[in-house]
Structure 1
């Protein structure tokens, strides 16, 4: 075990000794502190101490060199020594605090990434829970804290969003409880703001609301890709993230194949694109590298669109302004997912057979194997989406025609 007075110069150039896979260089100034250097050149800090009559090697919280400098490593060694003198285990004393945010991030890395909705859950917690509870020790988060958080979310975003956030937090708390000897989840039954049946949304947009959305998209201060993205959701009856992450590698002619790894059923879902939908895809973004890109993007195709909340607020403000100018009631709260439900309703209105419409939505019909041909019912889906596009065109442009006729009539009356 080489021992020497460590310096920054030595640490920067230190190598493992010949014939050794790794070498620990012990610091003469801080007993127990060592710089471990591997044959591959990786350098990490280690602190050795005796606990319960046994020699213990601690690495947690010390980091690697040069991310953790020599001076910082010595400070941490002093803290570890101070903990020992107080009869405390340095591994516990120097451990990073188990904040609510830290536990959520650990859950995401170990479990959340594998979930289809993992990214959504992470984004919801970052937006709604971290500002209030993020820096709090998870052991100090109580029922009262959660109730107050849910109250605020319900007031600002609705009861359904409050319950969704509660569900995500419950998953993290239960996960942490299974890994801890002491932690108990503060979430109990009765905290939900709605009943399960009430959480099943039934909202669909009426014709005048669809026209308001189209008009609002034309006037709102939103990213350039946003109007086409929202319209694509209705014309293809897809979910928000499916549309936002449309990639040109998934397109072939007039077919858009959403791969199973990012689709709810875990099966490839093929959507025939109507001329109206194809027109929304547009040209290749300027400056994008490679031969494929994300269609709806604010980064020249490098990443899919993600600024949902901000853009939706701008759209809602424009719709509200439009309705107020026409002395109409405010538009009831709606979400982008309501467009998918609206598309399904419009297909029924266009006399599309039920099973064809269900296949457009990607619902697996009972009795169909998970290995079914992904091109099954392709012609029927194309016809269903064609009928949907025609009806949307009729709904949107009928309003334009009626407004024009009223203006012509007013002008005629004023000159009479």
Structure 2
């Protein structure tokens, strides 16, 4: 028959004096107070481990920090775990490890890990924009929050300033990226569910105008508007360059002199500057080469063809041309990216091979099987097409002059 133990009371615990050797004061059901010769008092729980039945001990803390009542609560919780064949000591260690891992898995830490994983697959510019979006809009308020504790309400509150500023396009991109991060956190065992999956529904959607463009018949009108606008010379050059080469705004603005092969009349854009992480070669028409010749005295001593105004060592912003078009009153009518749509629509209407057009636009075939077999870049066919496109621009530019000053080009 088990020995009956009289439970302790607060007075006994408080007045327990140290002896020459440490001793135990039992409270019953495995709980005891260990009193050491130096006067320290610690709560201990002795139990039999599940399955092996080996004796084990776990500490509930010092009496100076843990009252008798608290120690009994901890004992009862430990006994409840044992009833489920859970070792309370192992459970405590696992919980401590979980809390430590949680402290390391802050939202900022997981985002940076996710970006590091994506970085080799995207352009340097894209990776920079990824980091910048989180640094500006989310890290200040959410960076130190454990990702497992992050709530939709917190994320929505952090993003409200973007909505208030009507920056809905940026807001939409960040919401999508946040959800990618949360999926990454699930796959790496940080969280079980994505609490932020619906945050975009708390805001209005952006009206997408990234491809807004004039129709092919309106090309002369567009050229006339730009020609009449009060814009900087370098912006005018950038407009002509992007229109003739059919590249993306960021690729045009970041063009470097060492990317130009004058001998073979080619512009070789390296992989790190391309959206699809694939190098792209642009055949240069006589009109495109004329733009470069015009710019040589202005910027050939620098790295970039289109230097930034504030820092000539850097290149112009990818937003430069888009901002200029907006100032011309073309919001919703023509964007910088839409110049590619204008070129594509025109070339398709003229009967050019759609594969050649797609290659000129550096689009990646979404059909992976087809893409595996179709590895040609149609360079020579693109060269002929690009020359036709520049001649078409020239024809549409009658009455306007190119920045080159060569009136016979009439390339705007």
Considering the TM-score relative to the shorter chain, is it more than 0.5? yes
Question: In terms of mean alpha carbon deviation, does 230-239 or 187-196 score higher?
Answer: 187-196
Give yes or no for the alignment of 1:354 onto 2:354. Answer: yes
> Which residue does the alignment assign to 2:175?
166
Say yes or no: does 1:256 pair with 2:263.
Answer: no
Which consecutive unaligned segments of at least 5 residues does structure 2 have?
1-57, 60-95, 402-412
Distance between the aligned counterparts of 1:148 and 1:333, measured in 2? 33
Give 1:138 shift. 3.3
Per the TM alignment, residue 170 of structure 1 is displaced from its structure 2 partner at its CA by 1.7
Per the alignment, residue 379 of structure 1 pairs with: 380
Q: Does 1:294 align with 2:301?
A: no
| Partners of 1:245 and 1:296 within 8 A in 2 | yes
Matches of 1:260 and 1:371, distance apart in 2: 19
Per the alignment, residue 136 of structure 2 pairs with 130
Q: In 1, are the aligned partners of 2:251 and 2:274 still within 8 Å (CA)?
A: yes
**Shift in alpha-carbon separation, 1:350–1:168, aligned structure 2, 3 A:** same
Is 1:272 equivalent to 2:272 in the alignment? no
Give 1:337 shift: 1.8
**Deviation of 1:176 (Å):** 3.8
- In the TM superposition, what whole-angstrom CA distance separates every residue of 1:248-304 from its partner, at most 9, and x where no partner exists? 33322211123445445554432211122123332163654xxxx332333887544
Within 5 Å, which residues of 2 pair with 1:12-27?
none
Instruction: Pick the aligned partner of 1:283 from 287, 290, 296.
Output: 296
Q: TM-score under structure 1 normalisation?
A: 0.55
Q: Secondary structure at 1:134's aligned position in 2? A: helix
Deviation at 1:361, TM superposition (A): 1.8
With 352-361 and 378-387 compared, the bigger mean Cα shift is at: 352-361
Show the counterpart of 1:244: 253
2:242 counterpart of 1:229: no
Aligned residues between the structures = 292
Give the C-alpha shift of residue 182 in structure 1: 5.5
> Residues of 1 paired with 2:222 and 2:333: CA distance?
11
* Residues in 2 aligned to 1:155 and 1:332: alpha-carbon distance in whole angstroms: 21
Contact 1:347 1:387 in 2 (8 A): no
The structure-2 alpha-carbon separation of the partners of 1:102 and 1:315, relative to structure 1 and needing over 3 Å to count, comes to farther
- Structure with max Cα Rg: 2
Q: What is aligned with 1:220?
A: 231
Q: CA deviation at 1:125?
A: 5.3
Q: Structure 2: how far apart are the matches of 1:144 and 1:151?
A: 11
Partner in structure 1 of residue 114 of structure 2: 107
Residues in 1 aligned to 2:205 and 2:109: alpha-carbon distance in whole angstroms: 31
Gaps spanning 5+ residues in structure 1: where?
1-51, 54-88, 321-329, 401-416
Q: Superposition pairs for residues 5-154 of structure 1, below 5 Å?
A: 100-101=107-108, 103-108=110-115, 110-117=116-123, 119-120=125-126, 122-123=128-129, 126-127=132-133, 130-131=136-137, 133-136=139-142, 137-139=144-146, 141-148=150-157, 152-153=161-162
Determine whether 1:186 maps to 2:199: no
Q: 1:209: how far off?
A: 4.0
Mapped to 2, the partners of 1:118 and 1:176 lie a distance apart of 23
In structure 2, distance between residues paired with 1:335 and 1:128: 26
Farther off after superposition, 339-348 or 349-358:
349-358
User: How far apart are residue 344 of structure 1 and its match?
Assistant: 0.7
**Which TM-score applies when normalising by structure 2?**
0.55
CA contact (8 A) 2:212 2:334 kept: yes
SS of 1:270's equivalent in the other structure is strand
Are the structure 2 counterparts of residues 125 and 146 from structure 1 closer, same or farther at C-alpha, using a change threshold of 3 Å?
Answer: farther
Assess, with a 3 A threshold, how the Cα gap between structure 1 residues 112 and 201 changes in structure 2: closer, same or farther. same
